Amino acid sequence: MTDKDELLQQQLYALENGAPLGSVVDGLPEQDQDLAPLISLVAAVREIPHPDLLLEQSQAQQQQIAAAVARPSNNHRNTNPTRQKKTTWGRWGWTIVPALALAGVVMLCFVAALAGVGLWLGGPPNARAATLMDAHGQIEVASSAVSNDWRSVTTGERVRAGQRLRTHDASGATLLFFDGTRTTVGSDADVTLTKLGGGWGNVLKVTLTQNGGITNHSVVPLRGKNSSFLVLTPSGSASVHGTTFNVDVASNGRSRFAVDTGTVLVSNADAQVSLTAGQATAAQPGQKPEKPAYRFSLAGLVTANQGTTWVVSGVPFTVTPDTEIRGNPQVSSRVQVKGRILESGVWVADQIEPVEDDQQASSFTGTVQAISGDTWQVDGWTVLANRITDLGENLSVGRAVRVTFTILPDGRWLAVRIESLEETPPEPTSTPAPTPDPNAKPSLSFQPDELEITGCGTDFSVNGALVNEAEEAKDVAANVQLGYEVIKGAASLVELNPVSWDVIAAGQTVNFTLHVTLAEGQQVKVRVFVLHETNRPDHLRSRLTVTINSSCNQTETPEGTETPEASKTPTPTPTATAVVTGTMTPTPDFTPTLTPEPSGTPLPTATGVTNCTGANPQPKGMSLAQEFGVPYEVIMGWFCQGFGFGEIDLAYSLSREAGVPVTSIFEMRRSGLGWGEIKQQLSPKPTKGNPQPTKGNPHK
């Protein structure tokens, strides 16, 4: 070996590791400039599209190999029966002299076309590398999966097929592929770009081999059967066609696959499972992937870690031998927990790792089973969604969602955000989606507007009816949604079904059922109102007041007794034998009701409302009433007691956020506390070192 050989190798090494050709050549000493064309040649050879096996061929070969594994003693020769050698085509040309010139021209065209096809098959030049974006911390690239020639890389550099990328602690980067697909590599990850190519028309072919760390993938919907996006891990592989998902490989080779949107097929030698939006699975090397399950992520302080049951942020979950616990988290350590919600309802942790900040939020995924006013049922879990909840688009019953939540002092789960995990809205129904029509003047009213049911039992169902009394066809009501409020007593469950309608035509009556569960011997009064309507939002004054008495001392009536005009009165369907009293009130005016709350402080009476305001209705009072779903008269009652509209707004907001009766909040204010102090007192304050009891069992 000469010095020139060594120098050439050094320059080529720099080129292979991303140094620009110009700088490599410029770095040559004067006397070694003869190496410059050799380096340029290497750069050219590296850049041209080289032949590749077609996807079908490589798949067929993989199948052959898999079959060979199953038959290890078989003779493996002649594995491809289609193998045929080429014929001696050259003989013919020399025997037909007159055709020689023509053959030459044809050959020229043919080879030129081949060259063109070769270039075309190579796909866009930028398809053969991914661009590194958002690199932070220490990111390194090696020239191949088995090389240790690491070099640091930064944003803007290109990572090529075959190269291996690793990230260190508190580091990360995103690989941007030519069609817009992104792979974000988290800290302590080790990923090889095993295969990377593409064709014209955004055909992307990617195979990543992930041996450690977490990767998040946002895959642009792949085009054509030749497109592929595959992530290989020691315990299974994930293949997708347009989706967002992440893969987390633990140091023991156990992999966790989680899907945000779309579908991912997870497979290994033993089995395959299909994950849909919101689901996750885990796979151990050499074992079948586990059944798909919805997932959770908890962030906060460890408040208990006894045996297999831990509690983080008030949520208990199970730790198994497969749970990867990073560091040594103790009670009062701040951690992030990722896991899956098993069919049985048990929350099982896949990974627990310490975190330094408290920026992460707790969340879980599931299918929306019911929406009843501000109460959502998501895969069996009840969450409160109030005015501070950020509701995403395309939310409806049956859709997969992610619920980001916090736990209120009373143990209820308050949804901070609910977002749909399904990208496309549901199939359109025969009724087109209503659009706002400023000329439509619907007139919605409950008929009747008052119902009373008495029965022996704890579960009651009452039918109600909502009528659009408008007469002209144009006066349709659009996007109608009901709300409810328990104005007296306590109910453990209140549900409205259905709770919304896209359209209620002029003259149309829609029926709904109110389900209430209450304690035996108790009375509950529920007010149902129209929470939302698009075309004429300022007319929503009609209320239905339902009084439910659980009493076993009543004289039972086999069939509900209805008031006159029973034909227009919805038939109650009590789960217990009941006495029903329906009152038909022709006007939608509200009947003032005193509503003593647990604090003993009654809600303000509406008496005298018109005596303390110059306007009737008062616009701000109306606005607050609609916003919080309480009667206008109640709002005005507080106003007439001396509270400003701003204070009323704040009190109801705090009431919903903290789950504390609004009367208690006004009492606190009356006691002389400032609003800041009230807010502080209502905020949850976990006690350090003192495990927080798990109020409001999050389990089914």
Partner 1 sequence: MLDTAQSEFITRAQRGDTHVIGMLYEQYHTGIFRYLYYRVGDRQTAEDLTSEVFVRMLRFLPAYRPQNVSFQAWLFQIARNLAIDHHRQMLVRNPVRLEEDLTAGNDDPAVATEHGLTSQNLRKALNRLTDEQRDVIVMRFVTAMPIAEVAQTLHKSEDSIKGLQRRALIALRETLNEWEIVYD
Minimal distance in Å, beta carbon 121 to partner 1? 9
15/682 with CB nearer partner 1: 15
Minimal distance in Å, beta carbon 209 to partner 1? 6
89/430 with CB nearer partner 1: 89
Residues 6+ positions from 691 with CB-CB distance below 8 Å: 303, 304, 311, 331
Residue 84 binds partner 1, judged by CB under 8 A = yes
The piece of 112-120, 219-227, 452-460, 518-526 that touches partner 1 (CB under 8 A) is 112-120
- Furthest CA-CA distance within the chain: 117
Residue 33 binds partner 1, judged by CB under 8 A = no
Minimal distance in Å, beta carbon 650 to partner 1? 54
The candidate with the shortest Cα–Cα distance to 533, out of 462, 606, 431, 437, is 437
List 123, 172, 198, 234, residue binding partner 1 (CB under 8 A): 234
237/692 with CB nearer partner 1: 237
Return the C-alpha torsion angle 154, 155, 160, 161, nearest 10. Answer: 100
The structure tokens 């120098």 sit at 7
Q: Please, are residues 256 and 277 in contact by the beta-carbon 8 Å criterion?
A: no
200/615 with CB nearer partner 1: 200
Minimal distance in Å, beta carbon 41 to partner 1? 5
List 29, 72, 321, 676, residue binding partner 1 (CB under 8 A): 72
Question: Residue 602: beta bridge partners?
Answer: 596
The candidate with the shortest Cα–Cα distance to 264, out of 230, 225, 224, is 230
The candidate with the shortest Cα–Cα distance to 447, out of 494, 524, 397, 504, is 504
Please state the separation of Cα 322 from the chain's center in Å: 25
Phi, psi of 222 (to 5 degrees): -75, 150
Sort strands 347-354 and 315-325 into parallel, antiparallel or unpaired.
Answer: parallel
Minimal distance in Å, beta carbon 18 to partner 1? 12
Residue 396 binds partner 1, judged by CB under 8 A = no
Minimal distance in Å, beta carbon 335 to partner 1? 23
What residues from 128 to 167 belong to the interface with partner 1 (CB under 8 A)?
143-149, 160-164, 166
The piece of 79-87, 127-135, 384-392, 620-628 that touches partner 1 (CB under 8 A) is 79-87
What residues from 612 to 671 belong to the interface with partner 1 (CB under 8 A)?
none
Residue 23 binds partner 1, judged by CB under 8 A = no
228/389 with CB nearer partner 1: 228
Q: Please, are residues 399 and 377 in contact by the beta-carbon 8 Å criterion?
A: no
Residue 607 binds partner 1, judged by CB under 8 A = no
174/209 with CB nearer partner 1: 209
Residue 125 binds partner 1, judged by CB under 8 A = no
List 5, 353, 559, 677, residue binding partner 1 (CB under 8 A): 5
Residue 559 binds partner 1, judged by CB under 8 A = no
What residues from 235 to 264 belong to the interface with partner 1 (CB under 8 A)?
235-237, 251, 253
Q: Please, are residues 526 and 372 in contact by the beta-carbon 8 Å criterion?
A: no
List 43, 103, 355, 370, residue binding partner 1 (CB under 8 A): 43
Minimal distance in Å, beta carbon 65 to partner 1? 5
Q: Please, are residues 400 and 277 in contact by the beta-carbon 8 Å criterion?
A: yes
List 26, 30, 31, 45, residue binding partner 1 (CB under 8 A): 45
Minimal distance in Å, beta carbon 387 to partner 1? 48
75/587 with CB nearer partner 1: 75
The structure tokens 């029903």 sit at 580
The structure tokens 């290890």 sit at 72
What residues from 262 to 321 belong to the interface with partner 1 (CB under 8 A)?
268-270, 285-286
In angstroms, the CA 683 to CA 654 distance is 10
Q: How many residues bind partner 1 (CB under 8 A)?
A: 88
Minimal distance in Å, beta carbon 434 to partner 1? 51
The candidate with the shortest Cα–Cα distance to 219, out of 191, 188, 187, 247, is 247
What residues from 89 to 108 belong to the interface with partner 1 (CB under 8 A)?
90, 104, 107-108
Minimal distance in Å, beta carbon 213 to partner 1? 9
165/506 with CB nearer partner 1: 165
Question: Residue 207: beta bridge partners?
Answer: 195, 230
Percentage helix, strand, coil for the chain under 3-state DSSP, each rounded to 5? 20, 35, 40
2/439 with CB nearer partner 1: 2
Residues 6+ positions from 602 with CB-CB distance below 8 Å: 594, 595, 596, 663
Return the C-alpha torsion angle 250, 255, 261, 265, nearest 10. Answer: 160
- Neighbouring CB atoms inside 10 A of 461's CB total 18
Phi, psi of 596 (to 5 degrees): -65, 135
56/538 with CB nearer partner 1: 56
269/433 with CB nearer partner 1: 269
Q: Please, are residues 482 and 525 in contact by the beta-carbon 8 Å criterion?
A: no
Minimal distance in Å, beta carbon 356 to partner 1? 23
In angstroms, the CA 74 to CA 69 distance is 9
Phi, psi of 34 (to 5 degrees): -65, -15
The piece of 40-48, 341-349, 459-467, 650-658 that touches partner 1 (CB under 8 A) is 40-48
The piece of 114-122, 440-448, 544-552, 650-658 that touches partner 1 (CB under 8 A) is 114-122
What residues from 49 to 68 belong to the interface with partner 1 (CB under 8 A)?
49-53, 57-58, 61-62, 64-66, 68
233/367 with CB nearer partner 1: 233
User: 3-state class of 269 per DSSP?
Assistant: coil
- Neighbouring CB atoms inside 10 A of 648's CB total 25
Residue 432 binds partner 1, judged by CB under 8 A = no
Minimal distance in Å, beta carbon 435 to partner 1? 50
The piece of 84-92, 151-159, 416-424, 470-478 that touches partner 1 (CB under 8 A) is 84-92
**DSSP secondary structure, 195-218, as one string:** EEEEETTTEEEEEEEEEEEEEEEE
Minimal distance in Å, beta carbon 148 to partner 1? 8
Residues 6+ positions from 677 with CB-CB distance below 8 Å: none
Residue 113 binds partner 1, judged by CB under 8 A = no
What residues from 166 to 225 belong to the interface with partner 1 (CB under 8 A)?
166, 190, 192, 194-195, 207, 209, 211-212
Residue 486 CB burial class (10 angstroms; 0-12, 13-18, ≥19): middle
List 96, 99, 106, 111, residue binding partner 1 (CB under 8 A): 111
What residues from 561 to 600 belong to the interface with partner 1 (CB under 8 A)?
none
Instruction: Give me the sheet containing 491-497, strands edge to edge.
Output: 444-446, 459-468, 509-518, 491-497
Minimal distance in Å, beta carbon 272 to partner 1? 11
Per the structure block, which two tokens stand in for 643? 């509270």
Minimal distance in Å, beta carbon 105 to partner 1? 11
In angstroms, the CA 150 to CA 228 distance is 28
